[in-house]
């Protein structure tokens, strides 16, 4: 359900400590591994948002027992995967691309569908790969039907993963349960968002799965058990960047507690990015703290591996004192919306000067005015509008409700941050 929202303007420098819920990327990977494990698992501090709830509902539909545990945890008891079942992917890439390789292990008919825009998101790569590994699938995108036989042959498969790292991660996460494991070879332009594949490899190894990623563009998962265990989910660093950006654009100070000293999350790059834009950034026992400068500097940056940060960086760039060139993110045209076209349209709609390049954006800061900011049902577009609204009165985000995809109550968290200031 859409929810129009008047982005609040900060009365002065934002000064706050903002605890951030768990990582969506980690939560959905761990839920899937727990469903395929040889025994029960516990997920501590998982993200409870639309994307993770869709994953839980899908696993339950396939016969996995997921129940609420103490302190917001999830207790996962794997069972025999089976159909018939209907899977609602919503707009969650981690559901539409991670679930089919697992559902190929089920017996029975599994029907996949999602939100209207989800039907336009690239899916052919993972579905063709599953067919090559022995799966019976009708359709090349949402909606599609998988006719499971209770197992999958597996083996070698060559794909072009230049459209999304999720194509690789989805195959790797279920590969240990295939008869011959899986070896994924990428043949194409560079794979975007490589930290997300590193995240997948890391959690697989922590679950006792043998993974060989020693060769470039090749990943092999050996057949074998997936170990059930206790998992502790890190805060979602990409979601945290939005709150840190509030300090950057208002000359304030925001701390996100629990920031890991070592992580595979792409959002960790925000510290270096904000430092390049003139912020003071420090990491200590309190967490990651950002102190904003008097004026933000523009920058020339390749976000190929951290492309999910593009809307946040673009919002910051509109408020900088010099031009910004964002490179390496052509693939985000296939995200929840075409993020490059959306950012250009909305920035220019407020009086800014942004234009698309072949693989990114050029943003030349201009005085902005209030007005409508369309979110395109995309959580990161909505939060980009919130950042700009901190210093530009009258920004009206047409659908703040879409932020529930990864943040359960973004408007409440935003309001609390500003109240503390």
CA distances from 344 to 123, 269, 353 (A): 26, 23, 8
| SS3 at position 18 | coil
Does the annotation place 193 within a ligand binding site? yes
The length of the chain is: 421
Does the annotation place 164 within a ligand binding site? yes
Does the annotation place 166 within a ligand binding site? yes
Task: Say which residues have a Cβ less than 8 Å from residue 81's Cβ, sequence separation at least 6.
Answer: 35, 62, 63, 64, 102, 103, 105, 106, 107, 148
Contact between residue 279 and residue 41 where contact means Cβ atoms under 8 Å apart: no
| SS3 at position 16 | strand
Does the annotation place 380 within a ligand binding site? yes
Does the annotation place 4 within a ligand binding site? no
Q: Give the integer Cα–Cα distance in Å for 91 and 147.
A: 23
Q: Give the integer Cα–Cα distance in Å for 181 and 307.
A: 30
Does the annotation place 121 within a ligand binding site? yes
Does the annotation place 77 within a ligand binding site? no
Does the annotation place 339 within a ligand binding site? yes
Instruction: Give phi and psi for 174, each to the nearest 5.
Output: -100, -5
- Quick one: DSSP state of residue 235? B
**Which residue out of 308, 336, 356, 358 is catalytically annotated?**
308
Annotated active-site residue 308? The verdict is yes
- Quick one: DSSP state of residue 251? T
Does the annotation place 282 within a ligand binding site? no
Q: Which of 333, 25, 298 is nearest to 169 (CA)?
A: 25
Instruction: Give phi and psi for 157, each to the nearest 5.
Output: -150, 135
Q: At what angle do helices 166-175 and 194-206 cross, to 10 degrees?
A: 10
| SS3 at position 371 | strand
Q: CB burial class (10 A; 0-12, 13-18, 19+) of residue 90?
A: buried
User: 216 — alpha (psi -120 to 50), left (phi > 0) or beta?
Assistant: beta
* Residues in the annotated binding site for phosphoenolpyruvate: 24, 93, 121, 166, 339, 380, 405
Residues assigned a catalytic role = 308
* Residues in the annotated binding site: 24-25, 29, 93, 121, 164-166, 193, 308, 335, 339, 380, 405
* Residues in the annotated binding site for 3-phosphoshikimate: 24-25, 29, 164-166, 193, 308, 335
């Amino acid at each position: 359900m859409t929810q129009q929202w008047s982005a609040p303007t900060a009365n002065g420098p934002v000064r706050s400590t903002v605890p951030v819920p768990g990582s969506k990327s980690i939560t959905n990977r761990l839920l899937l591994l727990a469903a395929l494990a040889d025994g029960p698992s516990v997920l501590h501090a998982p993200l409870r948002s639309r994307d993770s709830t869709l994953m839980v509902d899908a696993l339950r539909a396939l016969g996995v027992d997921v129940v609420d545990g103490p302190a917001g945890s999830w207790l996962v008891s794997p069972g025999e995967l089976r159909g018939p079942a209907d899977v609602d992917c919503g707009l969650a890439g981690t559901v539409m691309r991670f679930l089919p390789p697992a559902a190929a292990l089920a017996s029975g008919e599994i029907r996949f569908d999602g939100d209207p825009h989800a039907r336009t998101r690239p899916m052919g790569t993972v579905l063709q790969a599953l067919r090559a590994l022995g799966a019976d699938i009708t359709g090349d995108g949402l909606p599609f039907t998988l006719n499971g036989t209770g197992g999958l042959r597996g083996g070698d498969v060559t794909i072009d993963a230049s459209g999304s790292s999720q194509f690789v991660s989805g195959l790797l996460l279920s590969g240990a349960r295939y008869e011959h494991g899986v070896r994924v070879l990428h043949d194409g332009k560079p794979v975007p968002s490589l930290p997300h594949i590193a995240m997948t490899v890391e959690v697989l190894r922590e679950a006792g799965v043998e993974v060989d990623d020693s060769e470039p563009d090749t990943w092999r998962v050996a057949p074998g058990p997936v170990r059930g265990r206790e998992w502790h989910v890190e805060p979602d660093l990409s979601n945290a960047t939005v709150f840190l950006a509030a300090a950057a654009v208002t000359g304030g100070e925001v701390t996100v507690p629990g920031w890991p000293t070592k992580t595979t999350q792409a959002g960790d790059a925000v510290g270096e990015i904000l430092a390049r834009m003139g912020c003071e950034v420090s990491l200590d026992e309190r967490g990651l703290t950002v102190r904003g400068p008097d004026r933000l500097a523009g920058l020339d940056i390749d976000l190929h591996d951290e492309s999910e940060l593009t809307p946040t960086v673009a919002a910051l760039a509109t408020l900088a004192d010099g031009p910004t060139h964002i490179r390496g993110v052509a693939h985000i045209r296939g995200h929840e919306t075409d993020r490059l076209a959306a950012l250009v349209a909305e920035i220019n709609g407020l009086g800014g000067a942004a234009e698309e390049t072949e693989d990114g954006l050029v943003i030349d800061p201009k005085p902005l005015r209030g007005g409508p900011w369309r979110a395109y049902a995309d959580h990161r577009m909505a939060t980009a509008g919130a950042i700009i609204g901190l210093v530009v009165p009258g920004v009206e985000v047409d659908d703040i409700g879409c932020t529930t995809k990864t943040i359960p109550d973004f408007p409440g968290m935003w309001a609390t941050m500003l109240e503390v200031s």
